[in-house]
Amino acid sequence: MTSPLPPMPTGQVPVGTVISYAGVDPEQWESNYWLLCDGKPYDSTSNAYSNLFKAIGNQYGSSGDMFNVPDLRGMFLRGVGVGTLNDPDIADRYRQGDTTKTPIPVTDELVGSVQDDQFGSHAHSLGSENGYKSGGEYPVYLQGTQSANATGSSGGDETRPKNVYVYFLIFAGPPVGETRS
């Protein structure tokens, strides 16, 4: 990680804080030091972005003096496990922007790492005799001598909870040398 941030006055938002925002005016964000979490690169040597670089480093991608903000468009956020077993597939995590998807060490619990979507392992079986043969709340009734061993498929293109669109913004803070009022 890069050098620590300067001390933060009480009551201010920490640089690197990500929020969900339901407003629609992008000029309002930037004039208040918030950036859209869209994966864009920013100059780490610029007074305007050096504190943000100190907070997040290059963990979302970088090239030379440029570093990327997180790309959270269309993503759900998940809290870091911090030593728990709340992420059973932690070994599938990789750095955002890594096209080879090289797994990060399980012990790293890297903030900003990504997991691809996945549907939990499960099966639906059916019998081959007359009567209700499948388990579960909605059994399937087979009539006559028909035989079946699985259900058909249905659903959309992803597994997801109900959701609402918001923008994710990251706080860059005021440029070095400028104080917030």
Prediction pTM value: 0.74
pLDDT at 114: 87
Distance CA 97, CA 68 (A): 10
Q: Return the sign of the alpha-carbon dihedral for residues 16, 159, 21, 169.
A: positive
Contact 65, 45 (CB under 8 A): yes
Q: Return the sign of the alpha-carbon dihedral for residues 18, 68, 180, 166.
A: negative
For the chain of 181 residues, list the mean pLDDT of each consecutive stretch of 10.
54 90 80 92 96 94 94 90 82 88 83 82 62 55 56 71 86 83 55
Report the candidate in 11, 67, 75 with the shortest Cα–Cα distance to residue 43: 67
Q: 10 Å Cβ neighbour count for 56?
A: 21
pLDDT at 110: 81
Structure tokens at 46: 């610029």
43 phi, psi to nearest 5 deg: -80, 115
pLDDT at 4: 56
Contact 142, 131 (CB under 8 A): yes
Q: How far apart are the first and last CA of the chain?
A: 29
pLDDT at 53: 97
